[in-house]
């Protein structure tokens, strides 16, 4: 099957995205070249497309994805896969701030580190980071899993809701209202089932699972010590 190549350069992003949407209908693989770290590439991709961005991309790449398989060969800027519902995004290098923000489904796999607030306000899906997740990652994550294999920055899992943050490696510090709990064998197996298809399963990992302390939920706590945590 031949591949469709789309050039970015200095062209208008709207024009490029329209071309990408048309190419998705063909069922062919798509390769987007000369990306120059431009913003908003591949936003709103449909189900079933297979698209590769050669080089680095800017903000919001793969945002609102509804089922495409997206590969970013190098780095991405802020909010890769923001609000995605379904599909898979692989980032070959570093993922900037707010990776997977408010996503509701699908998987984001980052091969390098992820910046601050990885998985902020996510409502479903999984984010797997082979490196370290940045400052305040998991902030107010409502659901889904953030899995970091290379440690976490400061204020980890701050104000978490029903999401889970799993970290192997060093955690610089915990955020407010977070409990670190010992995962059950079944829970570890669930995480391994996410990592296995990515070739990252390793049963020797020493996991720390973070969940909400639930003391700040609904902002109606009359327990003064809970508020003093902030």
Region 126-145 residues binding other proteins, contact defined as CB under 8 A = 134-136
Q: Which residue, 31 or 86, has its beta carbon nearer to other proteins? A: 31
What does the block give as tokens for 157?
Answer: 């899992």
Distance between first and last Cα of the chain: 55
Tell me if 126 sits within 8 A of 144, measured CB to CB: yes
Angle, vertex CA 49, rays to CA 47 and CA 50, nearest 5: 140
Among residues 75, 90, 107, 126, the one that binds other proteins under rule CB under 8 A:
75
Among residues 85, 154, 188, 198, the one that binds other proteins under rule CB under 8 A:
154
Q: How far is the CB of 172 from other proteins (least distance, A)?
A: 10
Among residues 52, 56, 65, 212, the one that binds other proteins under rule CB under 8 A:
56
Among residues 53, 59, 161, 166, the one that binds other proteins under rule CB under 8 A:
59
Q: How far is the CB of 215 from other proteins (least distance, A)?
A: 22
Provide the strand spans (E) within the chain. Answer: 3-7, 29-33, 50-53, 66-72, 86-91, 107-110, 123-129, 143-148, 164-168, 178-181, 207-212
Q: Which residues bind other proteins (CB under 8 A)?
A: 36-39, 55-56, 58-59, 74-75, 77-78, 94, 96-97, 115-117, 134-136, 153-154
């Amino acid at each position: 099957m031949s591949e469709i190549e789309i050039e970015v350069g200095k062209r208008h992003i709207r024009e490029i995205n329209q071309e990408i949407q048309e190419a998705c209908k063909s069922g062919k693989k798509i390769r987007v070249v000369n990306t120059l770290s431009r913003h908003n590439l591949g936003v709103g991709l449909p189900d079933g497309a297979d698209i590769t961005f050669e080089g680095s991309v800017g903000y919001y790449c793969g945002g609102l994805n509804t089922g495409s398989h997206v590969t970013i060969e190098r780095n991405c800027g802020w909010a890769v896969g923001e609000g995605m519902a379904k599909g898979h995004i692989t980032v070959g290098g570093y993922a900037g701030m707010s990776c997977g923000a408010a996503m509701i489904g699908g998987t984001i796999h980052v091969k390098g580190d992820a910046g601050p607030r990885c998985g902020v306000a996510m409502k479903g899906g999984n984010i797997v980071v082979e490196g370290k997740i940045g400052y305040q990652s998991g902030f107010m994550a409502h659901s889904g899993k953030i899995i970091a294999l290379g440690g976490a920055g400061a204020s980890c899992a701050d104000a978490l809701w029903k999401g889970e943050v799993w970290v192997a490696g060093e955690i610089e510090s915990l955020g407010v209202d977070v409990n670190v709990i010992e995962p059950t064998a079944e829970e570890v197996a669930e995480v391994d089932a996410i990592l296995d298809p990515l070739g990252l399963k390793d049963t020797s990992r020493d996991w720390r699972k973070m969940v909400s302390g639930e003391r700040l939920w609904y902002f109606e706590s009359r327990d003064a010590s809970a508020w003093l945590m902030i």
